[in-house]
Amino acid sequence: MVDSTGSRVADVLVRGEVIVSVEPSTRTGTRAGTGTGPSGAPAGAMVLDAGGCVVAPGLVDLHAHLREPGAEEAETIESGSRAAALGGYTAVVAMPNTEPCTDSAAVVRHVLHLAKGACCDVHPAGAITVGRQGRALAPMAEMVALGVRIFTDDGAGVQDAALMRRALEYASDLGAIIADHCEEASLAGLGCMNEGDLSSLLGLPGRPAVSEEVMVLRDLALARLTGARLHLLHLSTAGAVAAVRLAKAAGTNVTAEATPHHLALTEDALATYDTVFKVNPPLRSAADVAALRQGLCDGTIDAVATDHAPHPPEAKQVAFCDAAPGMIGLETSLAVVLGALVGADGPGLGDGEPGMTIERVLALMSWQPARIAGLSGAHGGPLVPGAPANLCVIDPARSWTVVPAALASHSRNTPFAGLALRGKVRHTVLAGEPVVIAEEAQR
């Protein structure tokens, strides 16, 4: 068992929705035969075999596009939450760039209604501005009253600095967080990949690193001015990581995330013009990837978030510049991050980072994002008697190959198709109920 308090060998007994006991294990940690449980299990208890596995608090994703309402051909809350549970997540924050946009109490209520019975807890984020148009603030207070804690115009940055300042001030008063999509639109222009030698060579318009860095620097200054809590979404450049490092050292109230794809892939993937690799912010240089990994190792970046962005084939099977940006990630994130940061057999993922362990990866994917999202009471552990039973059971040694058609997501746009990965979620338990058993979704 691994949680924020450390690791130990233990058996976990769950009754109803809560953990009732965590006792030193009667086993040695080697894989037991299916169905055989710890000798101390009460008669009639369902036993989930966790031999050879890590039992951890469920993962928490700060950044998933579940597309409902409005783009159900790409994903629904049902299919997206199933993908999340298979990936080990017990909670996800659903991005508001839906149709209609999640910018009012009415839409938040609708999303919460759709999320009843989902395979994981779904927490809608609200838009910062009405319709994500960047012109007028959305009614944040009425969304906060329904439990919304995170506001973002993700998909686009708030271009008007004065409006962003007001958003930070209002969010601060409401106890909410502004989650910032950092792209300055006039610099990003119509760019559809990282700006550099490769974009020139391929003849594709570039999206420069500075388009991210200008907004990161602006909003760090605004966070400092207002004292508000700022969270920076999907950082992708070395300059942005350096700016956050300095701001944290100066006491700015900021957290940041990076995505698995920005940790595992570089712009070189675009050499084939395959639109599956088109994403915003774009895949960057090897030096940027190294800086992101370093930022995760030294605590500059607090969380790994998927930016799971499903798109139907017709949105991707078009000319590169016309293709929708985004890639799915809920079912592959843990294995990709283990491969990139801890080092595994996954080809192309490198040897990992010195000092990185599965424990530290779980901090980045479970309890640290749970804290950022204000979900610590329910998600992210620690696993102690009385705590809600939101758990995942990870087999770190399990090798598997990503087969897009076998994924639970309605969409197939994974950049990791055909890749051999190591590490898979065996079981996921949501509020005491196993929603994934032996790698199979139960709902």
Q: Does 155 bind ligand DOR (CB under 6 A)?
A: yes
Q: Does 279 bind ligand DOR (CB under 6 A)?
A: yes
The answer to whether the Cα torsion of 276, 282, 287, 293 is positive or negative is negative
Q: 61 to 100, contacts with ligand DOR by CB under 6 A?
A: 65, 97
Please state, as a whole number, how many other Cβ atoms lie within 10 Å of the Cβ of residue 389: 23
- Rounded to the nearest whole angstrom, what is the least distance from the CB of residue 141 to ligand DOR in the complex? 25
SS3 90: strand
- Rounded to the nearest whole angstrom, what is the least distance from the CB of residue 288 to ligand DOR in the complex? 16
- Residue 281 is encoded by which pair of tokens? 């912010």
- Rounded to the nearest whole angstrom, what is the least distance from the CB of residue 399 to ligand DOR in the complex? 29
- Rounded to the nearest whole angstrom, what is the least distance from the CB of residue 97 to ligand DOR in the complex? 5
- Residue 436 is encoded by which pair of tokens? 């994934």
Site for ligand DOR (CB under 6 A): which residue of 123, 149, 165, 181? 181
What are the strands of the beta sheet with 230-232, ordered from one edge? Answer: 150-151, 177-180, 230-232, 254-258, 303-304
- Is residue 178 within 8 A of residue 171, CB to CB? The reply is yes
> Taking contact as CB under 6 A, which single stretch among the options 103-111, 260-268, 322-330, 340-348 is the one that binds ligand DOR?
322-330
In the bound state with ligand DOR, the residue whose beta carbon lies nearer, of 259 and 285, is: 259
In the bound state with ligand DOR, the residue whose beta carbon lies nearer, of 301 and 338, is: 301
Q: Does 154 bind ligand DOR (CB under 6 A)?
A: yes
**Tokens 């050292």 -> residue:** 249
- Rounded to the nearest whole angstrom, what is the least distance from the CB of residue 70 to ligand DOR in the complex? 11
In the bound state with ligand DOR, the residue whose beta carbon lies nearer, of 88 and 326, is: 326
SS3 156: coil
- Rounded to the nearest whole angstrom, what is the least distance from the CB of residue 310 to ligand DOR in the complex? 8
Q: Please give the C-alpha separations between residue 319 and each of 278, 314, 395, in angstroms, as whole numbers.
A: 11, 11, 40
Q: Which residue is nearest to ligand DOR (CB)?
A: 326
Q: Is 161 left (phi over 0), alpha (psi -120 to 50) or beta?
A: alpha
In the bound state with ligand DOR, the residue whose beta carbon lies nearer, of 78 and 180, is: 180
> Taking contact as CB under 6 A, which single stretch among the options 3-11, 53-61, 215-223, 318-326 is the one that binds ligand DOR?
318-326
**Tokens 């790994």 -> residue:** 304
3 is catalytic: no
Residue of 278, 427, 264 lying closest to 349 (CA atoms): 264
- The residue from 121, 154, 307, 395 that is catalytic is 307
Question: How far is 322 from 332, CA to CA, in rounded Å?
Answer: 26
- Rounded to the nearest whole angstrom, what is the least distance from the CB of residue 305 to ligand DOR in the complex? 11
Q: Does 25 bind ligand DOR (CB under 6 A)?
A: no
Q: Does 325 bind ligand DOR (CB under 6 A)?
A: yes
Phi then psi for residue 126, to 5 deg, are -100, 155
- Rounded to the nearest whole angstrom, what is the least distance from the CB of residue 243 to ligand DOR in the complex? 19
- Residue 389 is encoded by which pair of tokens? 């039973």
Phi then psi for residue 28, to 5 deg, are -100, 0
By CB under 6 A, the count of residues binding ligand DOR is 11
Q: Does 260 bind ligand DOR (CB under 6 A)?
A: no
Question: How far is 417 from 322, CA to CA, in rounded Å?
Answer: 22
Q: Is 186 left (phi over 0), alpha (psi -120 to 50) or beta?
A: alpha
Question: How far is 231 from 233, CA to CA, in rounded Å?
Answer: 6
Site string for ligand DOR, 385-424 (x = CB under 6 A): ----------------------------------------
In the bound state with ligand DOR, the residue whose beta carbon lies nearer, of 155 and 208, is: 155
In the bound state with ligand DOR, the residue whose beta carbon lies nearer, of 22 and 83, is: 83
In the bound state with ligand DOR, the residue whose beta carbon lies nearer, of 253 and 280, is: 280
Question: How far is 375 from 123, CA to CA, in rounded Å?
Answer: 10
By DSSP bridging, strand 177-180 and strand 230-232 are: parallel
Site for ligand DOR (CB under 6 A): which residue of 228, 309, 336, 373? 309
Q: What's at 313, amino acid-wise?
A: P
**Which residues are annotated as catalytic?**
307
The contact set with ligand DOR (CB under 6 A) reads 65, 97, 154-155, 181, 279-280, 309, 324-326
